Homo-oligomer: A and B are copies of this chain.
Amino acid sequence: MAPTLALVGATGAVGTVMIDILNGRSTWPWGEVRLVASPRSAGKKITVRGQELTVQALAPEVFDGVDVAMFDVPDAVSAEWAPIAAARGAVAVDNSGAFRMDDDVPLVVPEVNRDKIAVRPRGIIANPNCTTLSMMAALGALHHEYGLRELVVASYQAASGAGQDGIDRLYAEAAAVAGKQVGERAGDVREALAAAGLSGDSPFPAPLAFNVVPWAGSLKEDGWASEELKVRNESRKILGIPDLKVSATCVRVPVVTTHSLAVHATFERPVTVAEAHKLFEAEPSVVLVDDPAAGRFPTPADVVGGDPTYVGRVRQALDFPNTLDFFVCGDNLRKGAALNTYEIAEALVS
Q: Which residues of A contact B (CB under 8 A)?
A: 150, 152, 154, 156, 158-160, 167, 171, 174-175, 177-179, 181-190, 205-207, 210-215, 219, 222-225, 232, 244-247, 249, 251, 253-258, 260, 262, 264, 273, 290, 292-293, 295, 297-306, 312-320, 323, 325, 327
CB pairs A–B below 8 angstroms (9 shown): A154-B154, A186-B304, A207-B299, A213-B299, A214-B297, A214-B299, A225-B292, A249-B264, A249-B325
Q: Which residues of B contact A182 (CB under 8 A)?
A: 256, 301
Does B255 lie within 8 Å of A185, measured CB to CB?
Answer: no
Does B301 lie within 8 Å of A189, measured CB to CB?
Answer: yes
Which of B190, B304, B318 contacts A188, CB < 8 Å? B304
Does B320 lie within 8 Å of A245, measured CB to CB?
Answer: yes
> Oligomeric state, in number of copies?
2
Q: Nearest chain-B residue to A299 (Cβ)? A: B206
- Given contacts A167-B183, A223-B290, A224-B318, could you give 20 more A-B pairs where the C-beta distance is less than 8 Å? A154-B154, A156-B253, A174-B174, A183-B255, A183-B257, A184-B256, A186-B304, A187-B301, A206-B299, A210-B254, A210-B256, A212-B260, A213-B297, A223-B273, A244-B319, A247-B317, A247-B320, A249-B325, A251-B260, A264-B264
Tell me the minimal C-beta distance from A276 to chain B in angstroms: 11
Q: Nearest chain-B residue to A273 (Cβ)? A: B223
Does B302 lie within 8 Å of A186, measured CB to CB?
Answer: yes
Which of B249, B299, B318 contacts A247, CB < 8 Å? B318
Tell me the minimal C-beta distance from A4 to chain B in angstroms: 29
A320 to B232, CA, bound (A): 13
> Which of A177, A232, A327 has the largest count of B CB atoms less than 10 A from its CB?
A327
Q: Nearest chain-B residue to A224 (Cβ)? A: B315
Q: Which residues of B contact A318 (CB under 8 A)?
A: 224, 232, 246-247
Q: Nearest chain-B residue to A214 (Cβ)? A: B327
Which of B178, B184, B258 contacts A178, CB < 8 Å? B178
Which of B158, B206, B244, B262 contacts A183, CB < 8 Å? B158
A156 to B261, CA, bound (A): 12
Tell me the minimal C-beta distance from A170 to chain B in angstroms: 8
Does B214 lie within 8 Å of A313, measured CB to CB?
Answer: yes
Which of B159, B224, B306, B316 contacts A186, CB < 8 Å? B306
A188 to B327, CA, bound (A): 22
Ranked 5 nearest A-B pairs via Cβ: A183-B256, A154-B154, A245-B319, A178-B178, A154-B262
Q: Nearest chain-B residue to A156 (Cβ)? A: B212
Tell me the minimal C-beta distance from A289 to chain B in angstroms: 10
Q: Nearest chain-B residue to A313 (Cβ)? A: B214
Which of B150, B175, B251 contacts A156, CB < 8 Å? B251
Tell me the minimal C-beta distance from A191 to chain B in angstroms: 10
Q: Which residues of B contact A219 (CB under 8 A)?
A: 292-293
Q: A210-B254, A215-B292, A315-B223 known; A249 and B327 CB under 8 Å?
A: yes
Tell me the minimal C-beta distance from A23 to chain B in angstroms: 14
Q: Which residues of B contact A185 (CB under 8 A)?
A: 304-305
A184 to B164, CA, bound (A): 12
Q: Which residues of B contact A156 (CB under 8 A)?
A: 156, 212, 251, 253
Which of B222, B223, B300 contacts A211, CB < 8 Å? B300
Does A251 lie within 8 Å of B262, measured CB to CB?
Answer: yes
Q: Which residues of B contact A316 (CB under 8 A)?
A: 222
